[in-house]
């Protein structure tokens, strides 16, 4: 589709998505100065429906499907996604062409009085649309009242006061990219909250048969990030999980070894399976799959089955 050295880059229209996409374009221009990169804003189902918790929308690809359709129809050449939004199974004609260097994957707390999780008042109301965050928050402090929170990053931050919440939980990476780190009350350690699979990373999706675009994006692929995210995504695929399931995982590469830690939790945080695994980087996907299998056999399969049964009748097919 590249004509007259123009590359069309698909992006969601939120301020954070466009900030991420503009960063990707600036990196691509460094290595491909002869090309012009233009943004095509595309609205996804997840963007259009903001008054329903993500856990009730059902399905996968809530923030990616429309971008993938545009890729397949050759309306765009590149799609920029947050890695945590990308389903573990993508269209057979598409591929992840690059995984740029990961930003900090931690979750953070933004509270009205700058208190940490430990210092928040009894029964504090915390906003998040993530079942993963909710489960781990309740495991840490069962007295918390968790409120559904949707919307773009700016909207969520404003809702602390507007919706009478003491705090919200968001991804550190988004705040860093938007320059909002001054609002942070606490960077939540992994022993309290493991992140979503791929959190902090971006995925550059392209068509498998587009050799020119494949070469263009290859320059911004970060090997360590790719290995770690591949390991996490392999675990998620084996667990058959998604953003509607309370699964957290984080992998990192040290030398020739990849290590991954993951958690599967009940919705109330009362019971969780948490485990870790490591092995050679050449077997990153296998390491993720092996950890997932071990966790399923340790009680994770029962937890996930009960969660799916619970949500089966609650999903709104909108």
Assess whether 21 and 71 both reside in one domain.
yes
The pLDDT assigned to 51 comes to: 58
The pLDDT assigned to 315 comes to: 45
Q: Within a 10 A sphere around the Cβ of 309, how many other Cβ atoms? A: 9
Residue 293 to residue 286: CA distance in whole angstroms = 10
Tens-digit pLDDT profile for residues 12-56: 999 999 999 999 999 999 999 999 999 999 998 877 666 565 655
Tens-digit pLDDT profile for residues 146-199: 999 877 888 888 888 776 899 999 999 999 999 999 999 999 999 999 999 999
Active-site residues, by number, are 85
Q: Identify whether the C-beta of residue 134 lies closer than 8 Å to the C-beta of residue 267.
A: yes
Q: Is there a domain that residue 117 lies in?
A: yes
- Residue 183 is given by DSSP the state G
- Write down the residue that tokens 């966790």 correspond to: 295
Q: Identify whether the C-beta of residue 258 lies closer than 8 Å to the C-beta of residue 233.
A: no
Here the CATH number for the domain that contains residue 311 is 3.30.160.40
- Residue 106 is given by DSSP the state -
Q: Which residue among 161, 187, 213 closes a domain?
A: 187
Q: Is there a domain that residue 305 lies in?
A: yes
Token reading at 19: 């900030």
Assess whether 124 and 252 both reside in one domain.
no
> Alpha-carbon dihedral of residues 16, 17, 22, 27, nearest 10 degrees?
100
Assess whether 93 and 217 both reside in one domain.
yes
Assess whether 132 and 226 both reside in one domain.
no
% of residues, the chain, pLDDT over 70: 91
Assess whether 145 and 177 both reside in one domain.
yes
| Nearest of 189, 179, 281 to residue 229 by alpha carbon | 281
Residue 195 to residue 192: CA distance in whole angstroms = 10
Assess whether 217 and 92 both reside in one domain.
yes
Here the CATH number for the domain that contains residue 135 is 3.40.190.10
The pLDDT assigned to 58 comes to: 56
| Residue 243 in this model has a pLDDT that exceeds 60 | no
Residue 75 C-alpha from the chain's centroid: 25
> Alpha-carbon dihedral of residues 289, 198, 107, 28, nearest 10 degrees?
160
Assess whether 90 and 114 both reside in one domain.
no
Q: Identify whether the C-beta of residue 49 lies closer than 8 Å to the C-beta of residue 55.
A: no
Coil, helix or strand for 269?
coil
Positions of E strands within the chain: 6-11, 36-41, 78-82, 94-98, 107-111, 125-127, 145-147, 167-171, 186-187, 202-207, 247-254, 257-265, 272-280
pTM of the full structure: 0.92
Q: Identify whether the C-beta of residue 15 lies closer than 8 Å to the C-beta of residue 153.
A: yes
The pLDDT assigned to 157 comes to: 85
Q: Is there a domain that residue 276 lies in?
A: yes
Assess whether 181 and 57 both reside in one domain.
no
Assess whether 213 and 227 both reside in one domain.
no
Assess whether 85 and 160 both reside in one domain.
no
Assess whether 89 and 36 both reside in one domain.
yes
Half-sphere exposure of 95 (CA within 13 A, CB side): 11
Give the total residue count for the chain.
Answer: 318
**104 backbone dihedrals φ, ψ, rounded to 5°:** -55, 125
Q: Is there a domain that residue 195 lies in?
A: no
- Write down the residue that tokens 């699979």 correspond to: 197
| Residue 314 in this model has a pLDDT that exceeds 70 | no
Structural domain span for residue 308: 222-318
Residue 247 to residue 185: CA distance in whole angstroms = 24
| Nearest of 93, 143, 104, 142 to residue 122 by alpha carbon | 143
Q: What is the mean pLDDT of the chain?
A: 91
Coil, helix or strand for 270?
coil
Tens-digit pLDDT profile for residues 274-312: 999 999 999 999 999 999 999 999 999 999 998 888 765
- Residue 64 is given by DSSP the state T
Count of domains in the chain? Answer: 3
| Residue 2 in this model has a pLDDT that exceeds 70 | no
Q: Is there a domain that residue 312 lies in?
A: yes
Where does the pLDDT of residue 316 fall: very low under 50, low under 70, confident under 90, or very high at 90 and above?
A: very low
- Write down the residue that tokens 């996490």 correspond to: 232
The pLDDT assigned to 309 comes to: 81
Strand-by-strand arrangement of the 6-11 sheet: 36-41, 6-11, 78-82, 202-207, 94-98
Assess whether 313 and 169 both reside in one domain.
no
């Amino acid at each position: 589709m590249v004509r007259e050295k123009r590359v069309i880059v698909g992006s969601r229209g939120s301020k954070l998505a466009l900030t991420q996409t503009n960063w990707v374009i600036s990196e691509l221009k460094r290595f491909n100065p002869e090309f012009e990169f233009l943004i095509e804003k595309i609205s996804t189902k997840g963007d259009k429906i903001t008054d329903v918790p993500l856990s009730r929308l059902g399905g996968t690809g809530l923030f990616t499907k429309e971008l993938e359709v545009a890729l397949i129809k050759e309306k765009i050449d590149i799609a920029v996604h947050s890695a945590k939004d990308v389903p573990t199974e993508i269209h057979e004609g598409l591929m992840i062409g690059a995984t740029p260097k990961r930003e900090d994957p931690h979750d953070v707390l933004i509270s009205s009085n700058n208190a940490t999780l430990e210092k928040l008042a009894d029964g504090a109301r915390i906003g998040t649309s993530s079942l993963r965050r909710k489960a781990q928050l309740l495991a840490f402090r069962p007295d918390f009242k968790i409120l559904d929170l949707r919307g773009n990053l700016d909207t969520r931050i404003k809702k602390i006061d507007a919706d009478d919440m003491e705090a919200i939980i968001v991804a550190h990476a988004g705040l860093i990219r938007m320059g909002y780190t001054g609002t942070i009350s606490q960077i939540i350690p992994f022993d309290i909250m493991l992140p979503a699979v791929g959190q902090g990373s971006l995925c550059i999706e392209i068509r498998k048969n587009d050799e020119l675009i494949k070469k263009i994006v290859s320059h911004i692929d970060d090997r360590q990030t790719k290995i770690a995210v591949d390991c996490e995504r392999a675990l998620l695929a084996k667990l058959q999980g998604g953003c509607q399931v309370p699964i957290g995982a984080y992998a990192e590469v040290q030398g020739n070894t990849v290590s991954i830690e993951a958690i599967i939790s009940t919705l109330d945080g009362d019971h969780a399976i948490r485990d870790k695994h490591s092995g050679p980087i050449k077997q990153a996907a296998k390491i993720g799959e092996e950890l997932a299998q071990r966790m399923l056999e340790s009680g994770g399969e029962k937890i996930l089955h009960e969660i799916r049964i619970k949500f089966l009748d609650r999903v709104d097919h909108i």
